[in-house]
Amino acid sequence: MFNLKNGLTAALLSAGLVSTASAQTELTMYYPVSVGGPLTKVVDGMIADFEDANPDIDVNAIYAGNYNDARVKSLAALKSGEPAQLSVMFSIDVHELRDLDAIVPFDDVVKTDKDRAWLKSFYPALMENGKVDGKTWGVPFQRSTIVMYYNKDLFRAAGLDPEQPPKTWDELVKDGEALTKKDASGNVIQWGAMIPSTGYPYWMFGALAKQNGEVLMNQAGTETYFNKPAVIEALDYWRSLGAEHHIMPTGTIEWGTLRQNFLDQKTAIMWHSTGNLTAVKNNADFDFGVAMLPAHEEPGSPTGGGNFYLFKKSTPEQREAALKLVEFMTSPERAAQWSIATGYMGVSPAAYKTPELEQYTKTFPPALVARNQLKYATAELSTHQSGRVRKFLDDAIQATLSGQASAEDALNSAQMQADHVLRRYR
């Protein structure tokens, strides 16, 4: 398709009216949101501001759907010979992208002391998924932890203190029993709690494992710990919430519809991404709260969400321009803007010192919960051949929650399969 701006630049160049030094550096960036949604408008606005400040850089943002879509389309572009220069993709894609030799570390692109200070400015917990072998391969942008949303009105109706959400596994069961309501026929019309088991079940399970004092893998992505006793205990606890305590449905709870179930007051508590915070704030017609996830041996949640990556197939000029764009998008002011617009957290301490985010969190304290939970956070499950390994765990979770296998049998099987895949990387 003819691009008016590029065509005009080419004509001026051929006429000798502008120098090559003023020619555009073009960047293509894949971004994991659906076209036309509210997040698209926010990103479009940030890119427009960047282009205004950097008139020699032209950014083409391609909105690719979900994280998996963004990865698939970015890698397809690399193979097609028309590669993107950068993308926001899952923070957990780092090992796969390195194995494909598709990305370069930011350490090899930064040049100045200011650049290097920027690279060290992010919350350490958010950097765990981006650092491998002593280098930074991914920079945090659209980042989250899992938080607990709860309906304060339903807490009051059940005789519970609306300012005291459950802080432990035992309290979650006790409060969940008080919050579960049935009609005259014995059918549940209001669940005490829901934890989604589709979409990203491994992510929710990472929280339960951390709360029981365990992590699911090593930093190098070469080992998993799916069948450690405390990990098995964590999955059995999740199963018990439906099968024994009856505070949530047995079987599958859909990721994609859970937020609406919470807004429709079909559940009093939900575990979900902090990325839902602004949507819940704008759409809930009841008093709600947000809290850190309940603890068992300790509090905990994995981090989640997307990092910026720089692709290897790019010119030095494109890498320099891409770095400039990433620094702009992750600056304290932009991180604050992004957090307020979406509910995702500001990725650096400096973001929370901006006047905008300081004022916002004073008037809306739930916006601090995910940030405060970072002190108890761990990295999200990420290994070599990450998609295959995650599926082994997801299948084990589904088999356990649906009653097809015990937690121990299902996780032993998942661990055996993961060992078979990962042994070549050790």
Let me know whether 384 and 326 are in one domain.
no
pLDDT for 335 equals: 97
Identify any residues that bridge with 140 across adjacent strands, giving them in sequence order.
307
Q: What are φ and ψ of residue 112, in 5° steps? A: -105, 165
Residue 297: strand, helix, or coil: coil
Is residue 80 a contact partner of residue 368, using CB atoms and an 8 Å limit? no
Let me know whether 342 and 397 are in one domain.
no
Q: Which element (helix H / strand E) includes 80?
A: helix 67-80
Let me know whether 184 and 196 are in one domain.
yes
Boundary (domain end) residue, out of 375, 393, 408: 375
Let me know whether 121 and 149 are in one domain.
no
Rounded CA gap, 68 and 91, in Å?
Answer: 11
Residue 379 is classified by DSSP as P
Let me know whether 122 and 193 are in one domain.
no
Rounded CA gap, 123 and 100, in Å?
Answer: 27
Let me know whether 151 and 55 are in one domain.
no
Is residue 125 a contact partner of residue 348, using CB atoms and an 8 Å limit? no
pLDDT for 66 equals: 85
Let me know whether 140 and 241 are in one domain.
no
Let me know whether 188 and 264 are in one domain.
yes
CB neighbours of residue 90 within 10 Å: 26
Is residue 290 a contact partner of residue 284, using CB atoms and an 8 Å limit? no
Check whether 37 has a pLDDT greater than 90.
no
Q: Which element (helix H / strand E) includes 345?
A: none
Boundary (domain end) residue, out of 359, 375, 391: 375
Let me know whether 316 and 243 are in one domain.
no
- The 10s digit of each residue's pLDDT in 318-337 is 999 999 999 999 999 999 99
Number of domains forming the structure of the chain: 2
Rounded CA gap, 396 and 406, in Å?
Answer: 9
- The 10s digit of each residue's pLDDT in 142-158 is 999 999 999 999 999 99
Residue 168 is classified by DSSP as B
Residue 27: strand, helix, or coil: strand
Check whether 7 has a pLDDT greater than 80.
no
Rounded CA gap, 377 and 370, in Å?
Answer: 10
Check whether 13 has a pLDDT greater than 80.
no
Query: 4: exposed, middle or buried (C-beta count within 10 Å: 0-12, 13-18, 19+)?
Result: exposed
- The 10s digit of each residue's pLDDT in 154-176 is 999 999 999 999 999 999 999 99
Check whether 36 has a pLDDT greater than 60.
no
> What mean pLDDT value characterizes the chain?
93
> In the chain, pLDDT over 90 holds for what percent of residues?
88
Q: Give the N- to C-terminal CA distance of the chain in Å, as an integer.
A: 47
> In the chain, pLDDT over 70 holds for what percent of residues?
94
Rounded CA gap, 155 and 286, in Å?
Answer: 11
- The 10s digit of each residue's pLDDT in 51-80 is 999 999 999 999 988 888 888 999 998 888
Let me know whether 285 and 240 are in one domain.
yes
- The 10s digit of each residue's pLDDT in 347-406 is 999 999 999 999 999 999 999 999 999 999 999 999 999 999 999 999 999 999 999 999
Let me know whether 104 and 9 are in one domain.
yes
Let me know whether 348 and 411 are in one domain.
no
Boundary (domain end) residue, out of 336, 352, 375: 375
Q: Which element (helix H / strand E) includes 147?
A: strand 139-151
* Mean pLDDT of the 397-417 span: 98
CATH number for the domain spanning 251: value is 3.40.190.10
For 268, the domain range is: 145-303+379-425
Find all residues with CB under 8 Å of 393, minimum gap 6, and list them.
Answer: 201, 202, 205, 216, 224, 226, 381, 411, 414, 418
* Mean pLDDT of the 253-274 span: 97
